[in-house]
Amino acid sequence: MSTDNVWILGTHMTKFGRHPGSDLIDLASQSAMGALKDAAVTIHDMEVLGCGSLFNAQAGVGQQLQKQIGQTGIPVYNVANACATGATALRTVYLTIKAGEADMGLAVGVEQMGKGGLLGAGGMGDRARKVYEPKGRYGSVMQVEGLLGTGLMPGVFAQAGMEYAYENGGVGFEQFAKVAEKNHAHSTLNPLAHYQKQFTLDEIMGADMMSYPNTLLMCCPNTDGSAAAVLVSEEKLRTLSREQQERAVKISASVLTTDPWTERSSVQPDVNTLTRNAAKKAYDISGVDPKDLDLVELHDCFATAELIHYDNLGLCDPGTAGEWIDKRGPWRDGEIPVNVSGGLISKGHPIGATGLANIYEVATHLRGEAGDRQIPDAKVGLTHVIGLGSACGVHILEKSAL
Amino acid sequence: MTKQVAIVDYFVIDNGPAHLEAWEAVDSGALFFDRRNADAASGGTEFKRKQLSDTGVVRSFTIVQRGVPGVPVPYISALVDLDGGGCVKTNISNCPPDPEHVKLGMRVKLTTFIAGTDDDGTEAVAFAFEPAN
């Protein structure tokens, strides 16, 4: 494999929110063309396209996008990898450049979710005549959601957080709620966030309970949106303009993991081990220590999830995630700012776009272009996404020294 | 007598007292409730049935207030570490669904309930766990 570094040359994201007047391809076009413009290149410079969209995984979204922004005949990889879909699209382009097949490529993530309701119930549809016959690998005679525990997302991630509380002290409803207090506060500085409204801790804890301890304000909304990035090889980058080189952001590590077998993982998804494995590998590859990080965008699909990832990503000492939020470690003026974009909880979570929106956020800070929410003098950042099934993407980005 | 069927095949109601059973991978000892092509831990293909305990400890829980249509809320969903090995996802019954009553580390024991009756009059028997004392 090539040892040449891969860089982000341009990036863009749409406003996250509800876009009933746009279709999926409008959103993808907007972020793709925005990223190309930001990179000061054109679709004709692209040699590969990675396109992530989870709910339209069979629709050939990449080719549909080409029809709108440029049919140049380059290879397209349409990818779906749960909530790591956007990160996987990015990594597909990254790998193609690493392999020496392309000098430049475009990664796009997009999702249009509308008001999708609760995700994760699955199960069996209604049958015309109700006859109990064992079906599937568990021999179920009926839908078991709510009868044998829950598989709904707010509950699954509540259980993940409560499992951390069981094994570590100093974690309870209030600590989880503080995560949402922080992310809603951060989002007030991000004009691209779905919501930009601050809430008090009391308002968050007093909001409608979805699945204890996650109240409505501790759950990410279903959101429409898209984000994109143009990647370039270092060799190619060195032939581009001074400004392009100075604004480029280095990908110091790109890691994708799945969940290895662990004792309880067939009963409750283990979102920890694959995150820990990805983080360790990313730190090893990049030589970056967690203490070096100036900002982190991590996968706060629920407040209970963000808290446990402080520990999984090594942002706090082992077992101290509760204390860390209590002492405001992850606030934008804290030890390591986490989710200064507002996170999934307030920025929103258009599934296919999320992994690239995190890249957009960190890259924008490293370029010093984040406006009111700029983390001063940011040089190194980390992005993290995890999708159940499971897949985890971790990227470490560094400010250009070119 | 009313015909009965277990809600899932890892809950055994026709061989002594109702109990949970898992597939145990012979190579690794890994436990699975569902049918497996091979062991996700070791890759081995030999499995045997293992009866699991009807008592254990709540290692995590959530109280679901917003669920799917047709399932009454609130209910407690929990992960229970079973005595002697295995972990099961289950509802906690006979316990008020609030964080003052359901506790991490709480001891629980297996109980059964009728989850529904089909058009032939067959009852689906399900399991839950309830506080042990």
- Domains located in chain A, CATH noted: 6-116+223-248 (3.40.47.10), 153-219+252-399 (3.40.47.10)
Contact list in A for residue B118 (CB cut-off 8 A) is 130-132, 141
Report CB contact under 8 Å: A146, B68: yes
* A131 to B75: CB separation less than 8 angstroms, yes or no: no
The answer to whether residues A228 and A107 touch, using CB atoms and an 8 Å cutoff, is yes
* Peptide bond between residue A20 and the one before it cis (omega within 30 degrees of 0): no
B25 contacts in chain A (CB < 8 Å)? none
Q: Tokens 């077998």 belong to which residue?
A: A261
pLDDT of residue B133: 77
- Shortest alpha-carbon distance between residue A220 and chain B (Å): 15
Above 90 in pLDDT, residue B1? no
Report the alpha-carbon distance of residue A384 to residue A28 in Å, rounded: 22
Contact between B65 and A212 using a beta-carbon 8 Å cutoff: yes
CB atoms within 10 A of CB A190: 23
C-alpha distance from residue A186 to each of A197, A293, A332, A351 (Å) = 9, 18, 7, 21
> Is residue A59 within 8 angstroms of chain B, CB to CB?
no
Q: How far apart are CA B78 and CA B75, in angstroms?
A: 10
What is the mean predicted confidence (pLDDT) over B114-128? 97
Closest chain B residue to the Cα of A155, Cα to Cα: B62
Per-residue model confidence (pLDDT) at position A78: 98
Check if the beta carbon of residue A38 is closer than 8 Å to that of residue A262: no
| Binary contact (B75, A132; C-beta < 8 A) | no
| Predicted pLDDT at A124 | 53
The verdict on A119 touching B (C-beta cutoff 8 Å) is no
User: Average pLDDT for consecutive 10-residue bins of chain A (402 residues)?
Assistant: 84 96 96 98 98 95 97 98 97 98 98 82 65 95 96 97 97 98 98 98 98 98 97 98 98 98 95 98 98 98 98 98 98 98 98 98 98 98 97 96 84
For position B58, what pLDDT does the model report?
98
Contact between residue A151 and residue A120 where contact means Cβ atoms under 8 Å apart: yes
Chain A residues touching B124 at Cβ < 8 A: 132, 141-142
3-state secondary structure of A149: coil
Q: Do A261 and B40 touch (CB under 8 A)?
A: yes
| Beta carbon pairs, A and B, within 8 Å | 158
Burial zone of A99 (CB within 10 Å; 0-12 exposed, 13-18 middle, 19+ buried):
exposed
Q: Are the Cβ atoms of A148 and B7 closer than 8 angstroms?
A: yes
Q: Is A266 helix (H, G, I), strand (E, B) or coil?
A: coil
Nearest to B89 among A148, A154, A261 (CB): A148
Query: Pick from A294, A255, A284: which is nearest to A386 by CA?
Result: A255
Give the C-alpha separation, A400 to A250, whole Å. 6
Q: Note which residues in 145-174 of chain A have CB less than 8 A from chain B.
A: 145-150, 152, 154-155, 158-160, 162-163, 165-166, 173
Residue A119 confidence (pLDDT) = 79
Q: Which run of H or E residues covers position B25?
A: strand B19-25
Q: Which of B2, B3, B5, B7 to mutate to test the interface with A (most CBs of A within 10 A)?
A: B7
| b/e sequence A215-251, b meaning 16+ C-beta within 10 Å | bebbbbbbbbbbbbbbbbbbebbeebeeebbebbbbb
Q: For B66, which residue in chain A has the nearest alpha carbon?
A: A210
| Element (DSSP H or E) covering residue A178 | helix A173-187
- What pLDDT does residue A240 have? 98
Query: Cα–Cα distance between A228 and A359 in angstroms, integer?
Result: 9
Kindly state whether A5 is in contact with chain B, defined as any CB-CB distance less than 8 angstroms. no
Decide: A151 and A145 in contact? Cβ < 8 Å: yes
- Tell me the pLDDT tens digit for each residue of B24-80: 999 999 999 999 999 999 999 999 999 999 999 999 999 999 999 999 999 999 999
pLDDT at A122: 59
The set of residues, in sequence order, having a beta carbon less than 8 Å from that of A376 and lying 6+ positions away, is none
For A95, half-sphere exposure in the C-beta direction (CA atoms, 13 angstrom radius) is 10
How far apart are the CA of B52 and the nearest CA of chain A, in angstroms? 14
- Judging contacts by C-beta atoms under 8 Å, the chain B residues touching residue A268 are 60, 79, 87, 89
Identity of the residue in A137, A146, A166 whose CB atom sits nearest the CB atom of B67: A146
pLDDT at res. A117: 76
A322 sits in which H/E element: helix A321-326
